Structure 1
Amino acid sequence: MPYNIAMVSDFFFPQPGGVESHIYQLSSKLIDRGHKVIIITHAYAGRTGVRYLTNGLKVYHVPFFVIYRETTFPTVFSFFPVFRNIIIREKIEIVHGHASLSNLCHEAILHARTMGLRTVFTDHSLFGFADAASILTNKLLKFTLSDVDHVICVSHTCKENTVLRASLDPLTVSVIPNAVVAENFRPKSVEEGGSEHPRLGPNDTITIVVISRLFYNKGTDLLIAAIPRILATHRDVRFIIAGTGPKAIDLEQMIERNVLQERVLLLGPVRHEEVRDVMVQGHIYLHPSLTEAFGTVIVEAASCGLYVVCTRVGGIPEVLPGHMTEFAKPEEDDLVAATGRAIATLRAGKVRTELFHDQVKQMYSWTDVAQRTERVYDGISGTLSRDEFYLGAEVEGAWSAARGRPGIQNFALIDRLKRYYGCGVWAGKLFCVCAIVDYLLFVFLEIMAPRTQIDIARDWPKKEVTRAEDTENIDSRPTTVPRKRSARNR
């Protein structure tokens, strides 16, 4: 059954990142499977209004004020008129929000429930429980997820974290990992100067690649401390570092202080389509992150034939098999030691990195991610029965009754208020007020801006695609489709 789906998040292209790539790839594959998908995000420099990307994917860039790291300023209600207009124009049935820190995501789910739409939330991050920022984020997440139909997490560690933070029933949370388009992350071919059976000699230079946002949570401080020690121990090693962020100045100062300009190359920000060209210059990919729900970049690195050194945090241990990775504690000494072990392993020829690409291609597929996400849509829309969706078709009704079956959330305002009221002594009352005001605003908009006055957007023409024809899209990079369109048809 085809659905009309709206993906909503503050994080989308042209900003690079794992969430942005996930939304784009998932949307493209859902379109391939016959669904209609639009994306709602905020305006970026040079990108406002409506854009069409590859495969007819429509993106609404809403003009809202950005306050920090591409996150819009929270107003709770000002987004509702624009959101309602888009939802009605596109005849949306399911609203799918992404990322805990996305303000547009939280507001969209609240407004969608007020409008009587099914909602799904995907969590891409891990958060703590002690610091002030985490406490506020977790309380906001509990507000949003108390009235959502289903939750998706990108790893089992992420699921455990989200269930604890939002006090959810684990049966209402599914694990659907990220993926990569393996064809876009191929090892260096013979024509490009590569080798079919690469072997390192004792005096060959080993290149370590790092591609990351240069923020504290990405382990940049750990990287800054480890690089001089790694280079002092191993003379035939060099670094290539790509990325930008507030820690870039600290990295540059470390290089100047230790006179490492000839052995550490800083590339600055790179476009996503250039990531593969950077990765194939190296032999080892170093990922010193302090927290990570999944870590798509390490899958991309392994697909390019790099041996991965990464910290054992969050969902990273779930991502790749042991023969592709060397794990370290998120500590300076252990990261240096793990990098040394990886260098020794490569020089001894103990790992066949040229086989990684085909192995990763078998493990991860966006088509599989789209199929599993589609099953979530079937479950919340009623196409699948509760037992089939939550517990599996083989589960007996008596067992599920004894366990206490979860159900799809209903839209009655009184039931929604009961769920919000249970979110805390003071926060619960505040959440109920927000839900009531949102409902009154919805009634006001229905009277003052009737649906009959809103033009219905024309769908992007597409050929019929059967489920059996699903294949990986080799060219997965988002590109704007040059097409003239009137304001009415957008």
Structure 2
Amino acid sequence: MVCDFFYPQPGGVESHIYQLATKLIDRGHKVIVITHAYKDRKGIRYLTNGVKVFHVPFFIIYRSSTFPTVFSFFPLFRNIIIRERIEIVHGHATMSTLCQEAILHGRTMGLRTVFTDHSLVGFADTGSILTNKLLKFTLSDVDHVICENTVLRAALDPLMVSVIPNAVVSEDFKPLPRPEPSSLPFIQHPLPAHPLGPNDILTIVVVSRLFYNKGTDLLTAAIPRILENHPNTRFIIAGSGPKAIDLQQMIEQNVLQDKVDMLGPVRHENVRDVMVQGHIYLHPSLTEAFGTVIVEAASCGLYVVCTAVGGIPEVLPSHMTIFAKPEENDLVAATGRAIAALRANKVRTEKFHEQVKAMYSWTDVAKRTERVYRGISGDITEEEFYGADVGNASHWSATRGRNLSLIDRLKRYYGCGVWAGKLFCLCVVIDYLIFVFCEWWWPKDRIDIARDWPRKPPPPSDEDEYS
């Protein structure tokens, strides 16, 4: 697994990689994670269940993403891959430089590659156009993609794409029994043991990185209006980012210090302690692929108000959510409807936890991801992997389980554009020459093989098939 975004930084991508890695290890696979150094966390670290993490020393330029070097990561990457005897490179996140470079280098080394997209990028603005062009280059030679709208953005063959949802560890996001005395540091306002009355304080929780794409500007504009319309309401906001100053200024200008609590950054293991203080979870994001945090909130027994963007409308059933357009007026109105429904006791939030537990499981995600690995490695037949569409499989199905020659790879990259295609071909040729030099300068037989973490025997093979 390769990504710039990983622990100790909290977030949905970080949690996804860790949980998927641990479940794959439980199923008998060897998994390592490559990410960049985080402050004093450098070199090799081991996490629970034997997840081995390589923190490589690269310069960070923006939102925990490293400076794109294209080629300088290759010698170190090759050394790690050979030492750990890796067969599949699984990159995560469009905005991760390490991910994009690892997929390129992995294909140069003849490895199977998989890419998982954790975000939704648009098509109209300059940044999105450049990002999509880069993604088209990176994914021209990838074996399989797990994503949402990446088929359009990177001009992919739909047959090489799988949609696999995220999940949550539901046991870590249990509702707080009422009443329950607690000494947890974040639980300052326990929920009442009885249904909400007209004068009871209703708490709205927001747990998010405070960036523009997370809808922080929308949240800043909506909070004063929500509190004005519903006086017996308060907000708890957890998270950090450049937009935090805007929220603080809004609180001071409207004198809302007793109505809005800003907790700052909160560790992932404390997120549940924040959520169980609330009745409603507000998610004003402007773009979102899945939104793991809204599943965590529903698991904690919160009624979810969220914007209908990206893949969010498909995450939770309608009785758990109220959707709003990513506009101030509609978000205020949707929050008002959620408050009215809770005060009228029309929503049975106490049943949400068990329902979420039945819907999302990391074991299921690991099984479906494992099936992708088996498919690209040629361990299962094309009929099993592609299903009824096997007859329409493109050149990706014809190359399953074997390595492409350099000329075949260049043909794929050349089709990325009149000028971009030539530039991409040049990058691939240089990457291949670096690989040849490393093979001569530092042969494989001179690289020590690392000892594996002791593993449990894999469980019996499942009969379930996932499409």
* TM-score between both structures, scaled by the size of structure 1: 0.90
Aligned to 1:65: 59
Q: How does 1:35-184 map to 2 (within 5 A)?
A: 35-153=29-147, 158=148, 161-184=149-172
Aligned to 1:250: 246
Aligned to 1:34: 28
Counterpart residue type for residue 76 of structure 1? V
Question: Per the alignment, do residues 427 and 267 of structure 1 end up closer, same or farther by CA in structure 2, a change over 3 Å counting?
Answer: same
Distance 2:293 2:70 in 1: 33
Aligned to 1:369: 365
Question: Per the alignment, do residues 403 and 103 of structure 1 end up closer, same or farther by CA in structure 2, a change over 3 Å counting?
Answer: closer
Question: Per the alignment, do residues 190 and 232 of structure 1 end up closer, same or farther by CA in structure 2, a change over 3 Å counting?
Answer: closer
Question: Per the alignment, do residues 253 and 372 of structure 1 end up closer, same or farther by CA in structure 2, a change over 3 Å counting?
Answer: same
Which of the residues 373, 391, 413 maps onto 1:401? Answer: 391
Distance 1:448 1:224 in 2: 57
1:55-85 CA-to-partner distances (Å, cap 9, x unmatched) read 0110000001111111111111100000000
1:167-216 CA-to-partner distances (Å, cap 9, x unmatched) read 00111100000000000000002462578985111111100000101111
CA deviation after TM superposition for structure 1 residue 130, in Å: 1.7
Distance 1:243 1:419 in 2: 42
Aligned to 1:458: 451
Distance 2:79 2:139 in 1: 24
Counterpart residue type for residue 55 of structure 2? H
CA deviation after TM superposition for structure 1 residue 403, in Å: 6.7
Distance 2:227 2:209 in 1: 22
- Structure 2 gap ranges (5+): 182-189, 463-467
Which of the residues 264, 268, 283 maps onto 1:287? Answer: 283
Aligned to 1:351: 347
Contact kept? 2:146, 2:164, Cα under 8 Å? yes
Paired residue secondary structure (1:105)? helix
The percent of aligned pairs where both chains have the same amino acid is 76
CA deviation after TM superposition for structure 1 residue 144, in Å: 0.7
1:368-391 CA-to-partner distances (Å, cap 9, x unmatched) read 00000000001000011112102x
Counterpart residue type for residue 42 of structure 1? H
Say whether 1:325 aligns with 2:325: no
CA deviation after TM superposition for structure 1 residue 465, in Å: 4.0
CA deviation after TM superposition for structure 1 residue 400, in Å: 3.8
Distance 1:264 1:337 in 2: 19
CA deviation after TM superposition for structure 1 residue 426, in Å: 0.5
Which of the residues 201, 207, 218 maps onto 2:214? Answer: 218
Counterpart residue type for residue 371 of structure 1? K
CA deviation after TM superposition for structure 1 residue 48, in Å: 0.1
1:8-67 CA-to-partner distances (Å, cap 9, x unmatched) read 000100111110000000000000000000000001111000000000110000001111
Distance 1:41 1:184 in 2: 25
Counterpart residue type for residue 40 of structure 1? I
* TM-score between both structures, scaled by the size of structure 2: 0.94
- Structure 1 gap ranges (5+): 1-6, 470-490
Counterpart residue type for residue 24 of structure 2? L
Say whether 1:411 aligns with 2:399: no
Q: How does 1:372-391 map to 2 (within 5 A)?
A: 372-390=368-386
Moved more, 124-133 or 96-105: 124-133
Paired residue secondary structure (1:460)? coil
Give me the CA root mean square deviation.
Answer: 1.5
Which of the residues 167, 175, 198 maps onto 1:187? Answer: 175
Counterpart residue type for residue 41 of structure 1? T
Paired residue secondary structure (2:31)? strand
CA deviation after TM superposition for structure 1 residue 99, in Å: 0.3
Aligned to 2:256: 260
Aligned to 2:184: none
Contact kept? 1:16, 1:271, Cα under 8 Å? yes
Question: Per the alignment, do residues 321 and 197 of structure 1 end up closer, same or farther by CA in structure 2, a change over 3 Å counting?
Answer: farther
Question: Per the alignment, do residues 15 and 403 of structure 1 end up closer, same or farther by CA in structure 2, a change over 3 Å counting?
Answer: closer
Distance 1:232 1:199 in 2: 23
Contact kept? 1:196, 1:354, Cα under 8 Å? no
CA deviation after TM superposition for structure 1 residue 468, in Å: 7.5
Aligned to 2:234: 238
Question: Per the alignment, do residues 24 and 198 of structure 1 end up closer, same or farther by CA in structure 2, a change over 3 Å counting?
Answer: farther
User: How many matched pairs?
Assistant: 451
Contact kept? 1:189, 1:195, Cα under 8 Å? no
Say whether 1:440 aligns with 2:440: no
Question: Per the alignment, do residues 224 and 319 of structure 1 end up closer, same or farther by CA in structure 2, a change over 3 Å counting?
Answer: same
Counterpart residue type for residue 29 of structure 1? K
Distance 2:238 2:250 in 1: 16
Distance 2:177 2:6 in 1: 31
Distance 1:293 1:413 in 2: 34
Contact kept? 2:191, 2:278, Cα under 8 Å? no
Contact kept? 1:198, 1:354, Cα under 8 Å? no
1:275-316 CA-to-partner distances (Å, cap 9, x unmatched) read 000000000000000111000000000000000000111100
Counterpart residue type for residue 310 of structure 1? C
